[in-house]
Chains A and B, each alone.
Chain A
Amino acid sequence: MTLQEYLLLAAALFSIGLYGALSQQSIVMIMMGLELMANAVIVGGAAFWYFASPTRPDGQVVVLVAVTLMAVDMAIGFAVTTAIFRRRDVDLTDSAADLRG
């Protein structure tokens, strides 16, 4: 195992998540894409800690931040979905384009 292999895995997960976040119409599926991107940050942070600076816990702290981000992302995402679904019966992003410039 090398740092490069771990970073390639993280890059693949990030790209898949980016594709999902850009292409999906359903708000919940977009959140799944965002979670995959945060997962890539977890893998990358852990790999940097192990291979680049194991004596300093900074990489582990990044992993902790990314895990918290995933929880917050999902909670807020579902709250927004609940709010907009309750008001306007909308669960697709194309139906909620009010802020389009």
Chain B
Amino acid sequence: MWTPVVFWVCAAGSVATGVAVFRVNSMARATFALLASFLFAAGTILLLNLAYLGVLVVLMMIMEMVVMVVFMLMYMMNPAGLMPMTMVHNQKGSLAIAGGVFAALAAGILLVPWPTSDQPRPVDPTRALGEALMGSKMLVMMVLGLCLFATMVATVVLAHHRGRYDRYGDALRAKRPDDPVRGGLDR
């Protein structure tokens, strides 16, 4: 009996805090509004018996948003919301596109006869997921691992202070790297 109530509270909370992300006056508040939106959405996942995935989303999003707040404070103007902030372009066009997309999606959702299943739900969905990832869906797991590794390499390369062009010149022809301090690679 409580399940629909909890679902609607979570759904309304998730949408409301999602809207708040782009309406509040500070980047830090926007980040925490986004975190609240993710937590409400995770609540709806937990209602579907997906304990592992729900808790995974909760833990990951808390970490991710806390890291995001640090970046906000590093880069952004007005992180504390002491002054009104609007940083938007083409707001009307964006609103129209987003509203149109929602209308189209909602029409599809309400008009399409979706398949239903009367088969019993698995007692332990986490076990089913684990067995799938180690069996029939192993390719997905391998691609995800490869993507995460590529991300680690790419982030380090992108965020690095000095690249090879700084060290060896634009044509990469310098005999000795131009480093501010001695030591390191090729020295």
Q: Do A and B bind each other?
A: yes
Residues of B contacting A19 in the complex (Cβ-Cβ under 8 angstroms) = 22, 94-95, 97-98
Q: Is the CB of A68 within 8 A of B15?
A: no
Are A26 and B87 also in contact (CB < 8 A) when A15-B98, A67-B56, A71-B60 are? Answer: yes
> How many residues on the A side are at the interface (Cβ–Cβ under 8 A)?
67
Q: Chain B binding site: helix, strand, loop or mixed by DSSP?
A: helix
Smallest Cβ-Cβ distance to B119: which chain A residue = A55
Q: Is the CB of B90 within 8 A of A22?
A: yes
Produce 1/0 per residue, A56-95, CB < 8 A to B. 0110110111011011101110111111011000011010
Q: Is the CB of A55 within 8 A of B159?
A: no
Q: Is the CB of B91 within 8 A of A32?
A: no
Q: Is the CB of A61 within 8 A of B133?
A: yes
On chain B, which size bracket covers the interface? 35 or more
Least Cβ–Cβ distance between B146 and chain A, in angstroms: 11
Among A15, A36, A57, contact of B105 (Cβ-Cβ < 8 Å): A15
Q: Is the CB of A28 within 8 A of B137?
A: no
Q: Is the CB of A43 within 8 A of B38?
A: no
Q: Is the CB of B97 within 8 A of A18?
A: yes
Q: Is the CB of B97 within 8 A of A8?
A: no
Q: Is the CB of B161 within 8 A of A39?
A: no
Among A26, A55, A60, contact of B53 (Cβ-Cβ < 8 Å): A60
Smallest Cβ-Cβ distance to A23: which chain B residue = B94
Among A5, A54, A74, contact of B64 (Cβ-Cβ < 8 Å): A74
Among B121-129, B168-176, B177-185, the one that faces the other chain is: B121-129
A9, A19, A82 pick with most chain B CB within 10 angstroms? A19
Least Cβ–Cβ distance between B88 and chain A, in angstroms: 5
In the A-B complex, the 7 residue pairs with the smallest Cβ-Cβ separation, listed nearest first, are A19-B98, A23-B94, A15-B102, A11-B105, A22-B94, A79-B158, A79-B155
User: Interface on B for A, CB 8 Å cutoff?
Assistant: 3-4, 7, 11, 14-15, 18-19, 21-22, 27, 30-31, 34, 37-38, 41, 44-45, 47-50, 53, 56-57, 60, 64, 67-68, 71-72, 75-76, 87-91, 93-95, 97-99, 101-102, 105-106, 109-110, 114-117, 119-122, 125, 128-129, 131-133, 137, 140, 144, 147-148, 151-152, 154-155, 158-159, 161
User: Interface on A for B, CB 8 Å cutoff?
Assistant: 1, 3-9, 11-20, 22-26, 28-29, 32-33, 35-36, 39, 42-43, 46-47, 49-55, 57-58, 60-61, 63-65, 67-68, 70-72, 74-76, 78-83, 85-86, 91-92, 94
